[in-house]
Structure 1
Amino acid sequence: MKWNELPMDKKLYVFELDDVLYPKQDFLLQIYYLFGQFVEFKEGKSLATELTEFMKKILIEKGENAVFEEVKKHFIFKEDYTENFERLQVNGHLPLKLLLFNEIKLLFASLIEQGKTIAVLTAGNPALQLNKLKHMDWQGLDKGIRVYFSDELLFRNIDPIPYIAAENGVNPKDILYLKEKLTKL
């Protein structure tokens, strides 16, 4: 959706997290950095920079889902680090805050000024998504924002949008759900 097409007559604005509020790549690159540091320590070899750069290259060329498999093929480690890599994503403390897109900061400020309600509805592992949310630099724009995890709701056989509408006392027609990054005019 383009900025100039965004309807401003809704009562509740619901946003996906990854690549809508912030660039997901910012999270992944920090996880790759932490993983590189961890492996370097465990292996006792200086390879953190090489490993991190390799992961970044695979992310750009083949996508997120190919990264760890390519790492396992390229680097022959003494042990399997799959569990450690997954744990870092869920529990890792990022060295840098995740920054909201500038457009989102402006939109949030405008919505708050107009008295609109803002929520986050995010897909994926709830613990992983919560870790991302903890590392966001909200700049005070998170006051009153409710967070919902679609995987958790769907697991409980709850349709997310009607549920969120009921929780916030609005009609589902009064909700705008933004699942993709807003594009420029």
Structure 2
Amino acid sequence: MLRYQDFPTDKKVFIFELDDVIYPKRDYLLQVYYLFANFLEFTETFPPQADLVTFFKNHLDSQGEDMIFEHAAEVFHFDLKYKEHFERLFVNAVLPVKLLMKDGIPELLTAIVNADKQICILTKGNPLMQLNKIKHMEWGPLASKLKVYFVDELKFRNLEPLDYIAEELQIAKNDFIYQDC
């Protein structure tokens, strides 16, 4: 568990990855899989939503995210035409339950803010999907204290993310700390 007292006190900016640092990425994935399973059962009447969700969960735990759709389609014999819908859900899903931060993270972020330090999120992956995750997080009063940057967007613009953040915030690179997975 990350705690404020475990970080150097001289840092002005704390930069965190979103997935598996701020919250468990698995929580987002399982909700998207649930939404897709409901959609597919409603559309095709098969497979049963609970069976498909169980398959997704077991696949995620044992083999990860890679090829999860293709393996599910093979096992449950549904049409590959649903892959576009599956992928679109990751970007624009309206989650049934807010995403909660990992244990200790709300206290860590609050301690950083109370120490008059700045918090940034620097997150990898599709910026639209990452933004959707951020939108569904339970930030509470911390929401207005965050500055968000997207690695993929910055790299697309041929910018080194940490250099860009340091320049934008007008700080030296040794004035921040970056915590990723």
TM-score by length of 1: 0.92
**Match in the other structure for 2:147:** 146
Of the structure 1 ranges 62-71 and 111-120, higher mean CA displacement relative to structure 2 is found in 62-71
> Aligned to 2:141, what secondary structure does the other structure show?
coil
Kept in 2: contact 1:120–1:147 (CA 8 A)? yes
**Match in the other structure for 1:93:** 94
**Match in the other structure for 1:183:** none
How big is the shift at 1:46?
5.7
How big is the shift at 1:162?
1.3
Aligned residues: CA RMSD:
1.5
After TM superposition, which residue ranges in structure 1, 4 or more long, deviate above 3 angstroms?
1-5
> Aligned to 2:148, what secondary structure does the other structure show?
strand
Count of residue correspondences: 180
Per the alignment, do residues 78 and 124 of structure 1 end up closer, same or farther by CA in structure 2, a change over 3 Å counting? Answer: closer
How big is the shift at 1:70?
1.3
**Match in the other structure for 1:176:** 177
Per the alignment, do residues 118 and 76 of structure 1 end up closer, same or farther by CA in structure 2, a change over 3 Å counting? Answer: same
**Match in the other structure for 1:164:** 165
Q: What is the percentage of aligned positions where both structures have the same residue? A: 46
> For the residues of structure 1 that align with 2:67 and 2:42, how far apart are their CA atoms?
24
> For the residues of structure 2 that align with 1:47 and 1:127, how far apart are their CA atoms?
29
Of the structure 1 ranges 67-76 and 110-119, higher mean CA displacement relative to structure 2 is found in 67-76
Give unpaired runs (5+ residues) of structure 2: none
**Match in the other structure for 1:29:** 30
Of the structure 1 ranges 99-108 and 83-92, higher mean CA displacement relative to structure 2 is found in 99-108
1:119-167 CA deviation, whole Å, 9 max, x = no partner? 0000000001000000000021122311000111001101111111121
TM-score by length of 2: 0.94
